[in-house]
Amino acid sequence: MAALSRRYQVKDMGKPHQFLGMKVKLVADDTVLLSQESYIEEVLHRFAIEATRSTQLPMVANIHLDFTDDGTTDDERAYMVKMPYRQAVGAILYLARVTRPDILFTVGQLTRHASAPQKMAWDAAKYLFRHLRATTVLKMKFQPTRDDIVVATDADWANGRVGRKSVSGSVVYLFGCPVAWASKKQTIVAKSSTDAEYISANNGIEDALMVQAIANESASNKHLQRSEHSEIQKTVDVKYHAVKDLIHKGELTAGYTPTGEMTADLLTKVLVRTEFRRKRSMCSLVDTMV
């Protein structure tokens, strides 16, 4: 603060309590809780979801949203014109990006239908809102436990029933705390689960290097380059060699994580309730009234 005051006009308002729609609570010298309870309540009220029955999972396991609109009736199209689908999904996308990695996979599925939403997608969005009602008090806990950067990556190979593109998921941990996470459909069709995993690893490492650059306060850190070649195998090869090169340089240590401990599972597929809750807690999301 003293250094900033020498260069800028600064007003010290004490410890932070609110920041960009987040509630900030300092519960110890080394522990911070971030939550968006008020934001969730406002969103639920805006889209009239307050009185609906809550759910324990963000998405129904047997629902597939990678569909075409061939079976959509005229009545359904007329119904969806009146529904605030884009606004609703946009509101929860912000939440998923900031403090709720546990819902990002579901939100990612919903965003794919923003241009022409169907009733099935709207029903899935309302189901997610019901889950948010049940988990309003969830908080993201930041408490340093180690002094390095760790990235967990996973891929659900050929996840999409239409086009058979895989889904990548990653979580970047800084000092043991999740600071960046992603869930996205891969841009090419991976020919094998190994290819899908390498693509996902490359994406996660790019995010980790970005975090490293910020942590080092340096824009000169090396970043992996995304291949823009159209040839699928060449793209996979580039990503494979980018990962391999970092390992050989000693800048990256790769290791196997058992499925039960793979946090990034949360960002690639729908999990059963017990597994979902377990991996949600591994993303530092805690259920507390503090």
Decide which of 220 and 268 is more confident.
268
Q: 38 lies in a domain?
A: yes
Residue entry with tokens 């939550």: 35
Q: How many domains does the chain have?
A: 2
pLDDT tens profile 124-170: 999 999 999 999 999 999 999 888 888 999 898 877 666 788 899 99
Give the closest residue to 108 by CA, choosing from 121, 118, 120: 121
120 and 94, same domain (yes or no) = yes
Q: Rounded to two decimals, what is the model's pTM? A: 0.80
Strands (E) across the chain are located at 18-19, 22-28, 31-35, 138-142, 149-156, 167-174, 177-185, 285-287
Give the closest residue to 96 by CA, choosing from 88, 87, 86, 105: 105
pLDDT tens profile 54-112: 899 999 877 777 665 556 788 888 888 889 999 999 999 999 999 999 999 999 999 98
169 and 112, same domain (yes or no) = no
243 is in which domain, residue-wise? 145-255
d(CA 91, CA 258): 34
Other C-beta atoms closer than 10 Å to the C-beta of 14 total 5
Q: 73 lies in a domain?
A: yes
CA-to-CA dists, residue 18 to 26, 171, 223, 288, angstroms: 11, 25, 33, 18
d(CA 245, CA 200): 16
